[in-house]
Every structure is written in C-alpha cells, then in structure tokens.
Structure 1
Amino acid sequence: MQDNTSLRCAFVTGATGLLGNNLVRELVWRGVTVKALVRSAPKGTRQFAGLTGIDLVEGDMADVAAFAHQLQGCDAVFHTAAFFRDNYKGGSHWQELERINVQGTASLIELAYRAGVRRFVHTSSIGVLQGKPGISVDESCLRDLDDADDYYRSKILADQAVLHFLATHPDMHASLVLPGWMWGPADIGPTSSGQFVNDVVRGKLPGVVPGSFSVVDARDVAQAHIAAALRGQRGERYLAAGRHMTMRQLVPLLGRVANVATPTRELPLPMLYLLAAVQELYARVTGRPVLLSLATVRLMAREAGRTHFNHAKSERELGLAFRPFETTVADTVAWYRGQGWF
C-alpha cells in the first residue's frame, strides 16, 4: 500500500459506477479513507464487499443538501456521478439532465466549499470538445452549445458551473477530467460498454455499427482524477480519452479476446434510424429502456472521425499513461465471466 499524506479523506460521488468504483478502489489502495456516495446502500455493500476504509453515504445528486454534512473533513471531492445517455428511454430527458448534471454539480461544489473542502475534481466528457474529422483534438477545442445534444449540453453547462464558482472563489481549487468511452472490470450497471460486451459475447449484435470512438480503461481515468487532485492546475481541463478505434476494429478485437464469432456486415445508417425509431416506439409502450435511441444514432453519424484526441497536456502535467486496450478488454471479459454473466 502506498502512503499519500496529502490526501487522507476523499468524497466520491457516483461511487458504484464504472469510474466511481474503480476510483474508490484506487484511493483505498493508496491509503485514503473514502466517503462513497451511493444511491443504494445494499448495492454499495455488494460492490465493495471485502474492502475496508470505505464509508457508504446514501444519497442522490438531486438533493445534495441532504448529504452535504458528510462532506466535512474531506480533503477532496471527486464528482463522477451523472445522468447518462444510457438511461434514455427515447425522447427528451433534458429536465433530468439539467437537474442532476448541471444543478447538482453547482450545488455540490458550493456545499463542498461551505464544508471546508478546497479541492474538487469534476468528471467532464470528451463531448464538451469538438474538432474536424481526422484532426487531433485537444482541451482548447470547445464545443458550441448550439452544436450539442442534450447530454453534451448538460456536461458543457456543468463545466461552466464549476468554472464560474472558481471565478468567484479564488481559494477553491478545481480541475476537470474529460474521459472517453470507458471500459473495465466491476461494471455492475452495466454501462453501455459493459452491455456491449455482453451483447457481443452472447451473439446479440446484428451487425457492425458505423462510427469511431475513443476508448479508455476506467482505471486509467481514475488515475487521472487522482493526479488532477494532486498535481492538476486550477481551472484546467485534462483529457483522459484513451485510444481512437472504429467499430470495425473494436468488434473483432472483442471477439478474439472472448473467443466468439462476431458479425462482419456493417449496418447502414438508414437501417439504424429505422431500428431506433421502432425501439423508441416499443419503449413508449412498455416503459423499458431502448438499446438504440435516435439520439444515439444521430450522435454516431455526427461524431464519426472526430475521436482523435491529443493527450500531451495530461501526459505532461499529470503524468498520465494508458494501458494497452487489449488488456482492458481481456480484464473486462474475465470479470463478467467470473461473475457468471455469460
């Protein structure tokens, strides 16, 4: 175990999520006591079974004031919780996105400050950035609100809430970490990546969808968060987006690691739009989540080729490095198999 004398107690929101739980584990391994915000105490107990040094705090980002007293005594707050696209059931969810991602973030940093916390690390998204297809994108390539879907818009506004707070509180320190599409073990949700792994291994993927992604190990993103708290510059963004891959590269890689056959036919965009429309109609009738929403298809079409990211700043200022993505896929598949998911 490593000793980290500059970080003794940390508060982590979204602690049972893919990023949050890996961040909690890394902090505990470093000897940091963690207050872990969970929406469900039983789920938190399952997630962290066998680990010590974790104090579960049951609460919700929709009501930060209800758990704000737990922020006292913490050296840093790591804010990984968010309302994600994965929660979509088709249609618009702006009210929830704004309430959780924007207002919740603004409340959290304010109440953390009132509780005496002076270090804050905010989980942003590569969605707040935009560049031309095939061009390397860095932290300066900010996306216009007018060119953002609802989720990306909520993340842009959440970033602005953090930066606005810094502008009026010069003794507060905050940095922003921008992850790509996160993969990794212990994804009990599962997130979209975990669901994708299960669908591919179980032969449920009807074809290869178009588009490209920036894929990254959640454990590497967790490392980036800790480095941002310890060495990050005030008010700065740090990319932790990982590796550019197309679905034509990703699907066969997953098949080789899991030793399963994978589809080779690429599904054309018109077919994806049709499938998404049918699924959204099904969702409205049954109330069940969709696997593919119209918003997701539009995002894939619009962002194709725009997932080349330049990590020079994070490497220079945070010492960030990424493990081979093949290792990430192998660890993810092994974890799901070990849990009996397939």
Structure 2
Amino acid sequence: MSGARVLVTGASGFLGGYVVPELQRQGYEVFAAGRNTAALTLVADGEHCVPGDLVSLRTRDLPMDAVIHCAALSTPWGPWKDFREANVGGTGHVVEFARRNGVRRIVHVSSPSVYAAAHDRVAIREPDVDRSNRLNGYIRSKIAAEDLLLEALDAGTIPEVVILRPRGLIGVGDPSLVPRLLDVHTRIGVPLFDGGDNLIDVTAVENVAVALRLAVTEGNGAGGVYNISNGDPRRFRELLTTLLDLMGQTPRFRPMSRRVAWAFASALEGVCAVLPGRPEPPLTRYTLSTIAYSQTLDISRAQEELGYRPEVTLDDALATVAAHLRASA
C-alpha cells in the first residue's frame, strides 16, 4: 500500500512522533494530527499537518485509506471522566472521522494494562483479559475503547479494525516510564519485590512504530488483536541495573513486601481520592502491578500474522536512552 494516505492521531506525542517517519520511509502519504502544532511541523510539512483535538476530526473532510490512532490519555491516576472523554470519547471521534471519510482500516493503539493483576502472569495471550478490570480509570477506558471499535466494526461503520497492545515503551523522548523510574530512584530508591526476580517486558518505541506500520496492511482486519513487545523479558532488577550502569549511576533499591506495599498503595489512593484536586498518590496499585509481579506477553500472533520482528534490540534501546539522558543532564 505504498503511496496510500494514512492519518496518525497523537502525532505530536511520543509514539506518534516515531510512527509518522516510519510510514514516510515506506512511501506512505502521512497526515499528522495532534494538538501541538509546533511538534507536528517537526514530523510533517504544512499541508500534511492536521492541528487540533480529536473532537475537531469529527467534521473534517480528509479522505484517508487508514488511521493509526495513537492519541490517548495515559497515566496511572486521574478522574474517570477525563479518561472517558479522552480515550473512549476520543476513539468515538476517530470512528466518526473514519465513517465520514471512507477509511478502510483503523489501527488502534490499546494497552497491555488491560492484563494488569496482583499476581504473576507469564506469556499472556490476547484473549486473556478480564474485561471487568477496574484497577484504574486508564485500564477501564482502554477496554471500553476496544469494545467501541469492535461494535463499530460489527455495525459496518468501519470496514476493518486492528488493535495493538504494546508493552512498556522506551526510547528517546519517553515522557513516562524511564523518567518515573529515575525520579523514584533519585528520591527514595526503586522498590524491589521478591529480590527483583519478577520478569518485565518492555519495547523499543521504534519497534512499536514498525508494528503499527505493518498493521496498516497486515493482520486480521476483522478485529484482530496483537501483543507487541521486544520479546526479551528481563528480571526487573537486571533491567534497572543495566540502565543505571549505562548512566553511570549506582543502583539504589528499597526491598519491600508486596502485601504491605499493596495495602499502603490502596490507603494512599483512598486518601488522594478525597483530597482537593485528587493529587496522584506517590504509589498506586496499578504501578505495583507492573513492577512487583512478572508480566510478559506472548507475541507469536503478531509474528505470524503481522510479520512483526523487533528491529531494535533491548540492549541497544537502553544504551540509546541512557546516552541521551546523560547528554541532556
């Protein structure tokens, strides 16, 4: 489908900023949509920039062959109404844009947060989702957004839908994962559970961009769902030690009990939920589910049906991020 027209939502964000050039290198005509006009101009020329929020897409006439929907509110804490508006309502706006403009396929960026649980989960396959998961508003909204897309597919509003669930994005420009871990490391030391032997899956952002590009033409358009990771699970302690060593920092770990930490996070959430402004707790149950327990993804379906192969190794990704952070310090 080289030469096809593809709209990327959230193109001014972390992931979208990698997806646009990946598509351009493969000969697609790419339109970059997002709220940050200055950031859009860094990845697309003026006529291919679509500034504005997702609401503005509803009435825009801009025929496309496909939409890659990266835009989302991604945070472990916040009011449900904010997640509903951004992630469920926003996806609804994309569906309306697709209907209005004859889009053949929506490729939706969901999240493996939908698998979050307070126990070890290894080699998780795509159907292994508790769709009643209410651990936080983000998870709830990502499940609801997937359901909305599948309902639109069943109703014939959209001809094709493909859903990707990429795990733990890392790369230059990452606003969340690595910065949060480094902040905790600097302030109090990184919490360590069961010696840090729990397995963690992460993904180089460049590999996610490749997977999304493949999903424009490959995979099951009748609602196919695909896990994406680097396929290289590491023990949590090993992963953090590698990154910190590359940055020239001495690892500082703080051993903790899972049971005590979970009770503490629950209490913090309860307190913060009633404080003015509902500030984010310093520790949430969702964060614990990602760092205190093993969680790895089975990516065999993406390998078989999308032809996905990680192009950037985890070690190379960590080295690149560490070099960038050291140069920026």
**TM-score, normalised with respect to structure 2:** 0.84
CA–CA distance in structure 2, aligned partners of residues 70 and 244 of structure 1: 42
The corresponding residue for 2:63 is: 73
Using the TM superposition, give the Cα deviation of residue 31 of structure 1 relative to its aligned residue in structure 2, in angstroms: 2.7
Which SS does the other structure have where 1:320 is aligned? Answer: coil
What's the CA shift string for 1:175-197, capped at 9, x where partnerless? Answer: 0001101101233xx12334434
CA–CA distance in structure 2, aligned partners of residues 312 and 136 of structure 1: 10
Alignment RMSD: 3.1
Contact conserved, 2:211 with 2:308, CA < 8 A, in 1?
Answer: yes
Structure 1 portions without partners, runs of 5+: none
The corresponding residue for 2:94 is: 108
The corresponding residue for 1:177 is: 164
The corresponding residue for 2:189 is: 206
Contact conserved, 1:277 with 1:294, CA < 8 A, in 2?
Answer: no
One of 311, 314, 325 as aligned partner of 2:299 = 311
The AA in structure 2 aligned to 1:96 is D
Matches within 5 A, 1:313-332: 313-322=301-310, 323-332=312-321
Structure 2 portions without partners, runs of 5+: none
Alignment of 1:161 onto 2:144? no
Contact conserved, 2:57 with 2:97, CA < 8 A, in 1?
Answer: no
Using the TM superposition, give the Cα deviation of residue 286 of structure 1 relative to its aligned residue in structure 2, in angstroms: 9.1
The corresponding residue for 1:17 is: 13
Using the TM superposition, give the Cα deviation of residue 218 of structure 1 relative to its aligned residue in structure 2, in angstroms: 1.1
Matches within 5 A, 1:227-246: 227-234=214-221, 235-242=223-230, 243-246=232-235
Using the TM superposition, give the Cα deviation of residue 199 of structure 1 relative to its aligned residue in structure 2, in angstroms: 5.8
CA–CA distance in structure 2, aligned partners of residues 59 and 209 of structure 1: 42
CA–CA distance in structure 2, aligned partners of residues 170 and 112 of structure 1: 8
One of 249, 255, 265 as aligned partner of 1:260 = 249
CA–CA distance in structure 2, aligned partners of residues 246 and 115 of structure 1: 46
Alignment of 1:191 onto 2:187? no
More moved, 261-270 vs 279-288: 279-288
CA–CA distance in structure 1, aligned partners of residues 115 and 254 of structure 2: 31
CA 1:133–1:272: 2 relative to 1, 3 Å: closer
**TM-score, normalised with respect to structure 1:** 0.81
Contact conserved, 1:221 with 1:240, CA < 8 A, in 2?
Answer: yes
Contact conserved, 2:247 with 2:326, CA < 8 A, in 1?
Answer: no
Which SS does the other structure have where 1:145 is aligned? Answer: coil
CA–CA distance in structure 2, aligned partners of residues 101 and 81 of structure 1: 8
More moved, 177-186 vs 132-141: 132-141
Contact conserved, 1:208 with 1:248, CA < 8 A, in 2?
Answer: no
The corresponding residue for 1:40 is: 36
CA–CA distance in structure 1, aligned partners of residues 273 and 246 of structure 2: 33
Using the TM superposition, give the Cα deviation of residue 145 of structure 1 relative to its aligned residue in structure 2, in angstroms: 1.0
CA–CA distance in structure 2, aligned partners of residues 229 and 101 of structure 1: 21
Contact conserved, 2:123 with 2:298, CA < 8 A, in 1?
Answer: yes
CA–CA distance in structure 2, aligned partners of residues 44 and 291 of structure 1: 32
Contact conserved, 2:10 with 2:33, CA < 8 A, in 1?
Answer: yes
Which SS does the other structure have where 2:33 is aligned? Answer: strand
The AA in structure 2 aligned to 1:59 is G
The AA in structure 1 aligned to 2:243 is L
Using the TM superposition, give the Cα deviation of residue 283 of structure 1 relative to its aligned residue in structure 2, in angstroms: 10
What's the CA shift string for 1:212-264, capped at 9, x where partnerless? Answer: 53211111111111111111111100110333334212210111222221114
CA–CA distance in structure 1, aligned partners of residues 39 and 270 of structure 2: 29
Using the TM superposition, give the Cα deviation of residue 327 of structure 1 relative to its aligned residue in structure 2, in angstroms: 0.8
Using the TM superposition, give the Cα deviation of residue 130 of structure 1 relative to its aligned residue in structure 2, in angstroms: 6.3
Contact conserved, 1:71 with 1:117, CA < 8 A, in 2?
Answer: no
Which SS does the other structure have where 2:227 is aligned? Answer: strand
Which SS does the other structure have where 1:139 is aligned? Answer: coil
CA 1:218–1:291: 2 relative to 1, 3 Å: farther
The AA in structure 1 aligned to 2:177 is S
CA 1:126–1:279: 2 relative to 1, 3 Å: closer
The corresponding residue for 1:296 is: 286
The corresponding residue for 2:105 is: 119
CA 1:218–1:44: 2 relative to 1, 3 Å: same
CA–CA distance in structure 2, aligned partners of residues 283 and 325 of structure 1: 37
CA–CA distance in structure 2, aligned partners of residues 54 and 8 of structure 1: 16
The AA in structure 2 aligned to 1:313 is R
One of 59, 64, 69 as aligned partner of 2:52 = 59
